[in-house]
Amino acid sequence: MERIQLAQDVSLSRIVHGMWRLSDWGYSKEETLNFIESCLYMCITSFDHADIYGNYTVEEQFGQALALKPSLRDQMELVTKCGIKLISSNRSEHRIKHYDTSRDHIIQSVHQSLRNFQTDYIDVLLIHRPDPMMDPSEVAEAFASLKRDGKVKRFGVSNFLPAQYNMLNSYLDDPLVTNQIEISATHLEHFENGAMEQCQSDRISPMAWSPLGGGSIFTSTEEKFQRVRKVLEKIKEETGATSIDQVLFAWLLAHPAKIIPIVGSGKLDRIKTAAGALKLNLSRQQWFEILEASKGTEVA
């Protein structure tokens, strides 16, 4: 599988597996380990996490499975996020949901993630959401400390607008390596707000969460989704794709920003479908057909 070089010492598989819903799948440790190994067999070596996933349980569940076969750690990349504090039975001191990007919280979160994963380093740490109370100098201090101690290799952000990304980046000794944002054929915000251009300008590859638009493409009766579905079915037949979701992944993969889709399914056949999109080559006209269907109008 193609790989994306985020920095000299970190690369990700072109398709990343997102572990957000791991706690919902009802997997045992052994089943989780089998799932991880199956992804690795498909050359999907990068796994996306956040400290809050599964109400603060997913990282630990993943780590318990990994502990059954610790040698797998050297075959994978772990991406995780911090900065959100949920109201949770596991965090009784949180009275309201809020953000915390203070130096101490970032460092404490990483130490907890390391314990959860039963590993001694994170490949990429992301700030989960833009924080209106962010002190970028504190974030820079936390990043520098974690990198110096070998706890985290590289850093990025999630859901940041270009101005927010550039502001934080201006404080850092080592530049951010990615921005994880919502990108799909039915969610075009970041094609319109300058985020894609900013990624290309900085030579970084964005990570795309919800690359299938949250599944609405399969179920929604809204006119927009019906339009897109019709075009996807047409292009599926033209390209020999196995399904319309494979065409959706191919649409993202075709973009010159080298978008990295995050697949969030717990079903291996759906993951194989996403990996198969790497073999599809959409024409420029097919790419614009999907864009036009999403917008509801031809380009000017």
Q: Catalytic amino acids? A: 53
What are phi and psi for residue 90, nearest 5 degrees? -85, -10
Q: What is the DSSP letter of 23?
A: G
Nearest C-alpha neighbor of 202 from the set 254, 258, 244: 258
For the record, the structure tokens of 9 come out as: 């010492």
| Short-list 126, 111, 52, CA closest to 86 | 52
Residues 201, 209, 246, CA angle at the centre, nearest 5°? 100
Give the angle subtended at the CA of 9 by the CAs of 120 and 198, to the nearest 5°: 115
Q: With 0-12 CB in 10 A as exposed, 13-18 as middle and 19+ as buried, what is 168?
A: buried
Assigned token pair, 119: 């590993």
Other beta carbons within 10 Å of 30: 10
C-beta of residue 284 within 8 angstroms of C-beta of residue 276: no
User: For residue 15, what are the CA distances in angstroms to 9, 49, 88, 144, 256?
Assistant: 18, 14, 31, 28, 15
Q: Indicate the Cα dihedral angle 151, 110, 159, 23, nearest 10°.
A: 120
262 to 12, 198, 300: CA distances (angstroms): 11, 20, 31
- Sequence-distant (6+) residues with CB within 8 A of 163 are none
Pairing label, strands 84-85, 10-13: unpaired
